[in-house]
Amino acid sequence: MKRRNFLGVAAGAATLALAPRVSRPRSLVRTLRVAPAEQSLVGAPHPRTAVWAYNGTVPGPELRLRQGERLRIEVENALDAGTTVHWHGIRLPNAMDGVPYLTQPPIAPNGGRFLYEFDLPDAGTYWYHPHLGSPEQVGRGLYGALIVEERDPPAVDRDAVWVLSDWRLDRDAKIIEDFRGFMDSSHAGRIGNTVTVSGAVLESFSVRAGERIRLRLVNASNARIYGLGFEGHEPWVIAFDGQPLDPYRPAGGRVVLGPAQRADLVIDCGGAPGSRHRVVDDFYRQRAYRLLDLVYSSDGAIRNKPRPVPRLQPNSVPMPDRARAERHRIVFGGGMMGAMPSQREHKGMFWTVNGIPVRDDDHHHAPLLTLARGRSYVFELVNDTAWHHPIHLHGHVFTVLSRDGKPSDRGESGDTVLLDPRTRVEIAFVADNPGNWMLHCHILEHQAAGMMANIRVA
Ligand code: C2O
Ligand code: CU
């Protein structure tokens, strides 16, 4: 098994220091400056990579606030392209949602500013990223974690965030600028050749025997799906997409995370002092690789007794009334080996929602559906293609009712659901947030090539 590293050599041993902190100082970030930057993604001796970054780093600053607090951040755009910031998974007022043309004009290039300000109703793991020219802007490094702490967070020894991302780099560690290529756009999206954890290729992640870690995973990749296994460890999933659920151990210990999805894990470090354990990503079975090693320090165990797994308080998301919900069937189509829109009329558009391809330079289009404010809805999301699609709804949190007709045993909720090829999923939610909300595939090349729609709540 090889590292997913185009250079085929071990990168510098970037070992994270063991930081014994339970709760971190909350975010003091007041401004996000969007600008080109350079960062060592692969490590010496390879050159630094020219990226686009928030406040000079990829990922951007980790924003950490507490549930119920107000986020207030001014974004300054120093790119020479327009941009916006979308606060993925947050139930916020429509005008703060960061969708260009639909909820705000793009933040102008070379100095434009926009003030985002809204309350954080739900605790959990969220993230932020642009919603304009997404394949390129996210692909060049614009994203960051937004952590909303519980008012009374569970006791853990460490709260760590791994922002997972992948890059398509050449041998000089430069980004290959083939955004929106035909192959990527019409197939699985732009999957890179180098995977980074919070902005660097990591060899190892230091842990201590007996330690309990809350590990927050954020999939910030354009298109890559992860299937992470922690050898010698059995993580609990305690929240998905920020929303608490009954803690469970995923099948085969493998945590599957589509683009834009997040998982909160609790990992009890039961390994021996001095031992090493691989973290492997084998979502694409033929292309399994080692992400990094969990490396135990030689210190003795900080505790031996197992503790009960923490349960998080649910957020106050309204419960849909399933019996009286109005149903809609939404079919995602197109792609290679599927019914692609005619290239005569829809050049470069390969995907559809209910038969319609929508361009992402034109977010302002007629709504696919208009929903009555306060009413419950069930959407049957049908994947009529040969590809995976992580489908994301803005401004709301939905519950997953069933997959291919089988009731979902966990009743998990979230903002993004991964549809396997040729499957269907039922979701339910209360349309309680007025405005125009995107419903789209979070494989950004699919979104840009037609797979998006606007849902209006009026
Ligand atoms: Cu994470 Cu419409 O976006
Ligand atoms: Cu898709």
Residues 285-311 pLDDT 10s: 899 999 999 999 999 999 988 889 999
Q: How far apart are CA 240 and CA 140, in angstroms?
A: 26
Tell me how far the alpha carbon of residue 41 is from its chain's centroid: 19
Question: What pLDDT was estimated at residue 25?
Answer: 56
131 lines ligand 1 (CB under 6 A): yes
Closest CA relative to residue 359, chosen from 260, 440, 258:
440
Q: Whose CA is nearest to atom 3 of ligand 1?
A: 88
Express each pLDDT in 315-372 by its tens digit: 999 999 999 999 999 999 999 988 888 888 888 899 999 999 987 766 667 899 999 9
Name the phi and psi angles at 270, rounded to 5: -95, 5
392 lines ligand 1 (CB under 6 A): yes
37 lines ligand 1 (CB under 6 A): no
Q: Which ligand is nearest to the CA of 259?
A: 1
Give the amino acid at 244: P
The alpha carbon torsion through 224, 227, 230, 233 (nearest 10 deg) reads 150
Q: What is the mean pLDDT of residues 218-244?
A: 98
pLDDT over 70, % of the chain: 93
Statement: residue 34 has pLDDT above 60: yes
Statement: residue 158 has pLDDT above 80: yes
Select, from the ranges 42-46, 82-86, 360-364, the one with the highest average predicted confidence (pLDDT): 82-86
For ligand 1, what atom is nearest to the CA of residue 129? Answer: 1
For ligand 1, what atom is nearest to the CA of residue 127? Answer: 1
Q: What is the mean pLDDT of residues 86-105?
A: 97
> 34 - beta bridge partners?
54, 77
Statement: residue 202 has pLDDT above 90: yes
Q: How far apart are CA 201 and CA 199, in angstroms?
A: 7
Q: What is the mean pLDDT of residues 172-182?
A: 95
Statement: residue 23 has pLDDT above 90: no
164 CA to centre of ligand 2 in angstroms: 19
pTM: 0.94
pLDDT over 90, % of the chain: 86
Question: What pLDDT was estimated at residue 9?
Answer: 36
Question: What pLDDT was estimated at residue 362?
Answer: 62
Q: What is the mean pLDDT of residues 168-190?
A: 96
By DSSP bridging, strand 124-129 and strand 144-149 are: antiparallel
Q: What is the mean pLDDT of residues 371-378?
A: 98
446 lines ligand 1 (CB under 6 A): no
List of residues 6+ apart from 406 with CB closer than 8 A? none
Site of tokens 């692609």: 340
Question: What pLDDT was estimated at residue 19?
Answer: 42
Q: What is the mean pLDDT of residues 255-272?
A: 97
Q: Whose CA is nearest to atom 1 of ligand 1?
A: 88
351 CA to centre of ligand 2 in angstroms: 8
Least confident residue range of 97-106, 268-277, 358-367, 405-414: 358-367
By DSSP bridging, strand 144-149 and strand 63-66 are: parallel
Least confident residue range of 9-18, 91-100, 168-177, 382-391: 9-18
Statement: residue 31 has pLDDT above 70: yes
Question: What pLDDT was estimated at residue 26?
Answer: 65
64 lines ligand 1 (CB under 6 A): no
260 lines ligand 1 (CB under 6 A): yes
Q: How far apart are CA 233 and CA 268, in angstroms?
A: 7
360 CA to centre of ligand 1 in angstroms: 12
Question: What pLDDT was estimated at residue 345?
Answer: 84
CB count, 10 Å around CB of 362?
10
pLDDT class of 431 with cuts at 50, 70, 90: very high
Statement: residue 6 has pLDDT above 50: no
Question: What pLDDT was estimated at residue 16?
Answer: 42
Q: How far apart are CA 155 and CA 149, in angstroms?
A: 12
pLDDT class of 28 with cuts at 50, 70, 90: confident
For ligand 1, what atom is nearest to the CA of residue 447? Answer: 2
Q: What is the mean pLDDT of residues 276-291?
A: 96
Round the average pLDDT of the chain to a whole number and report it.
93
